[in-house]
């Protein structure tokens, strides 16, 4: 059942923790925002930042370990690529919880309707 | 005025109920009401499985039961803030999730309920961390939204 995951701390939670840890740094978040627009080489990614190429490379390594970024093999520049699928746990968490609240609220409106029609009957 | 800005691991959901605010608020904190709607489809929450101690620091505990196989899903929460009939905040220590419910009385007698749920890990909860986290993630979250639809 889809909502089981939400009731038990599982791999989903671990994935989110790893992801949040990688995202804890401002530069890394900015790198991901650039990659959301398309693949970039390390040189291209380093351009907007006042830090060394080496420092940018280290940030990219952290993102790679979190699975958020992969490096191409085909060219010497090895362009960086945003791993959109890794975002799925976060996207799932949102949609699962949205589903739970929607179903809860559907039931709540039915309950409220019943309460209010009972009150009207009592007044008669 | 609904703020729909979301970051990863954060949920905002609003619903307008055809009922007065006092009643909707009571439904969210009284077991005799919660038992009718707390479980999503296919899941029940018997009244004896609901503990509500409606004051800051008080318990908010439920055990939902799967209708098909009887599997139980306990949830342990603690109330952080209770302002009847406007605002309700509880946190779940096990998951680190905080849920804030806001109740707004509309002019036509209906009630808007806004649920804001987060499971942002502890280390990101300081105001400075949150500010930085949110601003640069807004674009990222917008992008995330386009691929989940």
pLDDT tens across B89-100, in order? 999 887 778 899
Q: Which residues contact B80 (CB under 8 A, 6 or more apart)?
A: B56, B89, B90, B91, B98
CA nearest neighbour of A104 among B51, B99, B147, B53: B99
What's the whole-model pTM score?
0.63
Tell me which of A66-70, B83-87, B102-106 is least confident: A66-70
Provide the terminal-to-terminal Cα distance of chain A, rounded to the nearest Å: 45
Put simply, whether B33 touches A (Cβ < 8 Å) is yes
CB A6 within 8 A of CB A104: no
Per-residue pLDDT for chain A (124 aa), expressed as one digit of tens each? 334 444 444 555 666 667 777 877 778 878 887 887 789 999 999 988 888 899 999 999 999 988 889 998 877 889 999 887 776 665 566 677 888 999 999 999 999 999 999 887 776 6
Contacts B10 to A, Cβ<8 Å: 94
The pLDDT of B7-21, averaged and rounded, is: 80
For chain B positions 88-127, those within 8 Å of chain A (CB to CB) are 94-95, 113, 115, 117, 119-121, 123-124
pLDDT value at residue B93: 82
Nearest to B121 by CA among A93, A107, A5, A112: A93
Asked if ipTM goes beyond 0.85, one says no
What values do phi and psi take at B68, rounded to 5? -85, -35
């Amino acid at each position: 059942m889809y909502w089981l995951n939400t009731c038990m701390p599982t791999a989903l939670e671990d994935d989110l923790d790893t992801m949040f840890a990688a995202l804890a740094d401002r530069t890394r978040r900015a790198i991901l925002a650039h990659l959301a627009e398309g693949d970039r080489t390390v040189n291209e990614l380093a351009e907007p930042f006042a830090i060394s190429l080496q420092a940018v490379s280290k940030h990219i390594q952290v993102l790679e370990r979190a699975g958020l970024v992969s490096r191409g093999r085909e060219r010497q520049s090895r362009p960086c690529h945003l791993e959109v699928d890794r975002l799925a746990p976060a996207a799932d968490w949102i949609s699962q919880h949205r589903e739970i609240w929607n179903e809860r609220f559907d039931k709540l409106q039915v309950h409220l309707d019943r309460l209010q029609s009972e009150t009207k009957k009592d007044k008669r | 005025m609904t703020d729909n800005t979301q970051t990863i691991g954060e949920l905002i959901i609003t619903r307008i109920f055809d009922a007065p605010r006092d009643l909707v608020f009571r439904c969210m904190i009284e077991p005799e009401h919660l038992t009718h709607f707390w479980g999503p489809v296919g899941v029940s929450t018997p009244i004896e499985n609901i503990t509500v101690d409606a004051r800051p620091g008080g318990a908010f505990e439920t055990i939902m039961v799967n209708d098909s196989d009887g599997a139980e899903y306990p949830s342990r929460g603690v109330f952080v803030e209770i302002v009847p009939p406007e605002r309700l905040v509880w946190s779940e220590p096990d998951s680190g999730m905080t849920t804030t419910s806001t109740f707004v009385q509309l002019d036509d007698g209906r009630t808007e309920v806004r649920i804001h749920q987060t499971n942002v890990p502890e280390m990101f909860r300081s105001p400075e961390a949150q500010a930085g986290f949110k601003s640069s993630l807004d674009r990222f979250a917008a992008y995330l939204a386009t691929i989940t639809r």
